[in-house]
Amino acid sequence: MRAPIFQVDAFTTQRFAGNPAAVIVLPEFLDDAVMQAIAAENNLAETAFLVADNGDYRLRWFTPLLEVPLCGHATLASAAVVMERLQPERQQVLFHSASGPLAVQKTPSGYAMDFPRRIAQRVAAPPADLIDALGLAPLEIYADRFNYLALLDNAQQVRELKPNLALIATLDRSGVAVTAAGDGVYDFVSRYFAPAKGIPEDPVTGGAHCALAPFWAQRLNKTVFHAYQASRRGGELHCRLAGERVVLEGACVFYLSGEIEI
């Protein structure tokens, strides 16, 4: 069989920046092993699989190594595929996923996603391997059930950090976000490492910002943020707290469209 494939740079207005995601449109989900093999073949941080469902879409995400319960940039890319390629008359779309219903709305500057909020709790006794992996002692360390979150002194530390990825891969969380207050037009900056998921460094991470937005809300006493993920490719997000949800907004740029043969 053949299936349409799109590659989209998410959370950016410039091609070759942001976070690239593959989006594959299917009549029905394939066997998990086949979708995992496709994601490994694509070798991007995430491959999203879309199936139309009574006006909505079912959505699943795979890294090169495993399926994940939530992926922000591949959801943004999927919304762009639906509203720019499959059904350009649409202004919004609802995705049904392992993380529940995810609504995405077209905006003048891109797409706004409605995601569940994540609350990270401070870790009283951080794992020694985490501090060794970062190569420095963070000001504070927090954790939710998915990731560790390390607060660093300043944005320059975040940008220049060279962590030990092999050590990070052995931790009891699937990823580590490092963050600091912004030093310019951004409220805060971050980076995200998830080698255990086959993603040494994720260029721009929507899921991590579901925890970063409420984390910074407590420190900055505000609910709307302009954030920057300081990876090599780099990407921008506009974040807004809305009760138990986080609205993440960003732009997308199409890079590739074609077909895969299975």
The sign of the CA dihedral 13, 14, 18, 20 is positive
What is the C-alpha R_g of the chain?
A: 18
CA 65 distance to own-chain centroid: 16
- Output the 3-class SS for the chain: CEEEEEEEEECCCCCCCCEEEEEEEECCCCCHHHHHHHHHHHCCCEEEEEEEECCEEEEEEECCCCEECCCHHHHHHHHHHHHHHHCCCCCEEEEEECCEEEEEEEECCEEEEEEECCCCEECCCCCHHHHHHHCCCCCEEEECCCEEEEECCCHHHHHHCCCCHHHHCCCCCCEEEEEEECCCCCCEEEEEEEHHHCEEEECCCHHHHHHHHHHHHHHHCCCEEEEEECCCCCEEEEEEEECCEEEEEECEEEEEEEEEEC
Catalytic residue annotation: 46
Residues composing the chain: 262
The pair phi, psi for residue 88, each rounded to 5°, is -65, -10
